[in-house]
Structure 1
Amino acid sequence: MKSPDSVASTPRRQKVQSAEVGTDILKALAELAPATSLSKLAEHLDMPASKVHRYLQALIASGFAEQDPATNHYALGRQALFVGLAAIGRLDVVKVAAPWLVRLRDDLNETCFLAVWGNKGPTVVLVEQAVRAVTLVTQVGSVLPLLGSATGMLFQTYLPDSETASLRLEESARAPELTSERLAEQSERIRRAGIHCIHGQLMLGVNALSAPLFGVGRKLAGVLTVVGSAPAFAADPHGPAALRLRDHARQISARLGGDIEMPA
């Protein structure tokens, strides 16, 4: 006969096991982001699809997962994003950069955002939209191309090669013109200028300026980016917007204990 204590502990064990399965599914959704099918998710977890589906329904009900009605694919929900952002908020760069991002947006009246290096690449963690009737949609949680965005190229330039190699190989396979020599030349230009601009490369008619944020030991802590529609926003690396962006990047880096000796 089972003791009362062992009987009482059984529901607790079941709850712990259920929490572990739910956590595994959330991790898998993050690894297969932005979205995945039930079959791929079940295969990734090495778990029966029926079991995964049952847990997904509970996660959807609690807001930690969501299903696209058009594709039936599953993704992390708003509550999962909230938890993730709370964890990211512990990073010094997010806390320090937040008020400066607002000031930069107010100075330029253009959309400004902060990106950090995530498990999928350059990830937007803070956004301040331009105060105007038409704004550019840059969402928190968006993952930007490493080689096809001003933000990404700064991570490519300043992060250790070991961190960017896998994503760089993946993207360069789709763009054979981006040879290692061209990338090295571009990174050298970025290091000399301390800023990078693109014109309509990531999105037609949209220009961008990006500057690096450094922490202690001149380690890249994040990237500050200004985006705007052409021709109003020219993204001139020598223009007033670039000067303001550099100034804000210097101020943030100084508060992070980083090297603020950037080209003027």
Structure 2
Amino acid sequence: MTDSNPATAPRRQKVQAAEVGTDILTGLAELAPATSLSRLAEHLGMPASKVHRYLQALIASGFAEQDAQTNYYGLGPAALFVGLAALGRLDVVKLATPYLAQLRDELNETCFLAVWGNRGPAVVHVEQAIRAVTLVTQVGSVLPLLNSSTGLVCNAFLPDAETAALREEELRLPAAPSPAALAATMSELQRNHIQAVHGSLMAGVNALSAPLFAGGQRLAGVITVVGAAPGFMAESDGEAARRLLEVAEAISTRMGAQFPR
């Protein structure tokens, strides 16, 4: 039975418009970081003209944006703000923040927290070193799975079902490691719980990452120290690695997990 009261029609229309808008935002998130209008419309099963109309409203409110060069659409800063506000409610973000600030002060290198998103590990909190240049450490950055220390930790400790599709995609890239080399890296990482990379994302920029565990020994996030050589050499058996592991253990303990060291 439908509501035929004319007085409630505007309210119904607003609800329907909100539902369409959230569907489009969800579609943009699922097709992140950017997508064409035609692909988005096909993904949502909506007419392109309808999607375009709603996208213009979302752009005006800051929830979507369009790249002027490619004409592709993606989530805007307002959507990022809402997403980060939701992430801020997670225990891992609340618990890790003061530890990362202390680690940043001790090492004078940029430290950040990443959590697993729909397209890989996403940076959700950064403690920027004063002398450091911002590199791949901006909040909202999505890091590669096999070409970053953060991604490699995710690949080693997340369930295979969550990483398999992205891993297979990246293994087809020209600079991808061989399956044998990747397996060796994962085996060592699962033993030592520390991953170093040297210049993988940017020449002269090194990083160290360690996993954070929550109850049930599930991976809750990854903490990373990143800096430029020669000041930061990211030695997996050095002092920075030792302190990173201590911080990872402290945060994991606070989250009800036993850090496997």
TM-score by length of 1: 0.92
1:51 aligns to what SS in structure 2? Answer: helix
Kindly provide the amino acid, as one letter, of the partner of residue 116 in structure 1. V
Q: In the alignment, is residue 115 of structure 1 matched against residue 126 of structure 2?
A: no
Alignment of 1:31-180 (within 5 A): 31-132=30-131, 134-175=133-174, 178-180=177-179
Kindly provide the amino acid, as one letter, of the partner of residue 117 in structure 1. W
- Per mean C-alpha deviation after superposition, the further-off stretch among 177-186 and 30-39 is 177-186
Alpha-carbon displacement from aligned partner over 1:137-161 (angstroms, at most 9, x marks no partner): 5111111111111111111111111
Q: What is the number of residues matched between the two proteins?
A: 259
What residue in structure 2 maps to residue 183 of structure 1?
182
Unmatched 5+ stretches in structure 1? none
What residue in structure 2 maps to residue 212 of structure 1?
211
In 2, Cα distance between the equivalents of 1:165 and 1:257?
27
8 A contact 1:129–1:136 mirrored in 2? no
- Per mean C-alpha deviation after superposition, the further-off stretch among 175-184 and 50-59 is 175-184
Alpha-carbon displacement from aligned partner over 1:112-169 (angstroms, at most 9, x marks no partner): 1111111111111111111126343511111111111111111111111111111111
What residue in structure 2 maps to residue 238 of structure 1?
237
Kindly provide the amino acid, as one letter, of the partner of residue 152 in structure 1. G
Among the aligned pairs, what percent are the same residue?
Answer: 66
What residue in structure 1 maps to residue 226 of structure 2?
227
In 1, Cα distance between the equivalents of 2:159 and 2:179?
15
Change (3 A) 1:136 1:217: same
8 A contact 2:109–2:132 mirrored in 1? no
8 A contact 1:113–1:226 mirrored in 2? yes
Deviation at 1:37, TM superposition (A): 2.0
In 2, Cα distance between the equivalents of 1:166 and 1:71?
26
What residue in structure 2 maps to residue 198 of structure 1?
197
Kindly provide the amino acid, as one letter, of the partner of residue 166 in structure 1. A
In 2, Cα distance between the equivalents of 1:212 and 1:158?
8
Kindly provide the amino acid, as one letter, of the partner of residue 207 in structure 1. N
In 2, Cα distance between the equivalents of 1:218 and 1:46?
39
Alpha-carbon displacement from aligned partner over 1:204-257 (angstroms, at most 9, x marks no partner): 111000011111122111110011111111001111111111111111111011
Deviation at 1:176, TM superposition (A): 8.0
Unmatched 5+ stretches in structure 2? none
Instruction: Report the RMSD for the aligned CA atoms in angstroms.
Output: 1.7
Change (3 A) 1:199 1:176: closer
8 A contact 1:136–1:228 mirrored in 2? no
In 1, Cα distance between the equivalents of 2:103 and 2:94?
15
In 2, Cα distance between the equivalents of 1:16 and 1:65?
20
In 2, Cα distance between the equivalents of 1:16 and 1:155?
38
Kindly provide the amino acid, as one letter, of the partner of residue 108 in structure 2. N
Kindly provide the amino acid, as one letter, of the partner of residue 124 in structure 2. V
Kindly provide the amino acid, as one letter, of the partner of residue 11 in structure 2. R
2:143 aligns to what SS in structure 1? Answer: coil
